[in-house]
Amino acid sequence: MATYYTPKSRERVDRYLVSVEEYAHYHRNGYLIVRGLVSKEDIAELYELAEKTRTKNKKPARESGGSDPLHEEFLDATRVHMLSRIEPSAERGMLNPRILDVTEALIGPDVYAVQSMMFLNPPGRGGQGWHQDACYIKTHPDTLIGAWIALEEVDEENGCLWVAPGSNHEPIYPPAEIGGGNVHALDAFSNLNGVQNVSHLDDEVNTLSKVVAKYPPPISVPMQPGDVLFFHSHLFHRSYPNKTTDRFRRSYVCHYCNARSWIPWDHDGYEGDSGNYRQILARGRTHLPYAEPAFGTEVYLYEGDDTDGSVSMMGMDNGMMMPIGQKK
């Protein structure tokens, strides 16, 4: 007997309900800003973690002179990956129910929590040139989404994000220097040419900038603490170094995908042909392997009955189809 899936989220008093207009804006433009989505208390906890991370990893200042600015940022620990696997507060931030409310509506209903990154970006540091996130984290089907959480005021001076609206409709341009498989089938396109030096700050070096130039001028995304920018994994986006002398740019950035996607990726490595078993099932359900929150953070998974109130289609003698409600 066939079963049917009617996903329904668990009700909560503070649940964020996405509007049809917000859904359309995200899929049309490749991004959605939800102002004040995360509470002051939750932002304060993540800010405290950012400060703890900053003081723990504080290193003597050094002159920049390397050929790969992004590599230098990792060396200087101005961004730290996967705190969600070692810090309870980072796991709570990645599994924040209001962030997952929006994610569930945009790419769900089933959601994996895949990656977390804490950005510190002190004066004179930070910045990442034009790139598309799905060239780094590949999912099949291709359902990756980012959530960029501002932990303090973010503007053009201290290094806010810039986006090229509508560029989410572009394919993933394969960087020559980044491996790990492909998003698209090989030889499926007639003119999908490779690009070089993706994420490099210099547009003369980063050849993805030539594709960005086909779009209207990119827009900056100033944000206040608690604002969240959701962005499509194909969207062209970037940031510039922090130009201030007395301000940081602290943010917490997480990635999610539909939990029916196969994920041949994990930041910390994986065994076999996929890293699904390392990703937390954050909403809904899945037929694929998954992990549970390491620190017991509550998640709201599917609790319905697959056969209750479902609808099937019955063929008629005239070739038409008629819906038939089925009860358990």
Q: What is the pLDDT of residues 222-251, one digit of tens each?
A: 999 999 999 999 999 999 999 999 999 999
Check if the beta carbon of residue 268 is closer than 8 Å to that of residue 277: no
pLDDT tens-place string over residues 117-160: 999 999 999 999 999 999 999 999 999 999 999 999 999 999 99
Burial of residue 9 (number of CB atoms within 10 Å: 0-12, 13-18, 19+): buried
In a domain, 77, yes or no: no
Residue 41 three-state SS: helix
In a domain, 229, yes or no: yes
Domain count, the chain: 1
In a domain, 22, yes or no: no
In a domain, 304, yes or no: yes
In a domain, 315, yes or no: yes
pLDDT tens-place string over residues 13-36: 999 999 999 999 999 999 999 999
What is the DSSP secondary structure assignment for residue 99, as one 8-state letter?
H
Mean pLDDT of 254-265: 98
Q: According to the model, what pLDDT value does residue 85 have?
A: 98
In a domain, 69, yes or no: no
Cα–Cα distance, 132 to 141 (Å, whole number):
16
CATH label of the domain that carries residue 123: 2.60.120.620
Check if the beta carbon of residue 260 is closer than 8 Å to that of residue 276: no
Q: Which residues contact 25 (CB under 8 A, 6 or more apart)?
A: 32
In a domain, 17, yes or no: no
In a domain, 75, yes or no: no
pLDDT over 70 at 271, yes or no: yes
Domain containing 284: what range?
A: 29-62+82-326
**pTM score above 0.75:** yes
Cα–Cα distance, 170 to 167 (Å, whole number):
6
Cα–Cα distance, 207 to 315 (Å, whole number):
54
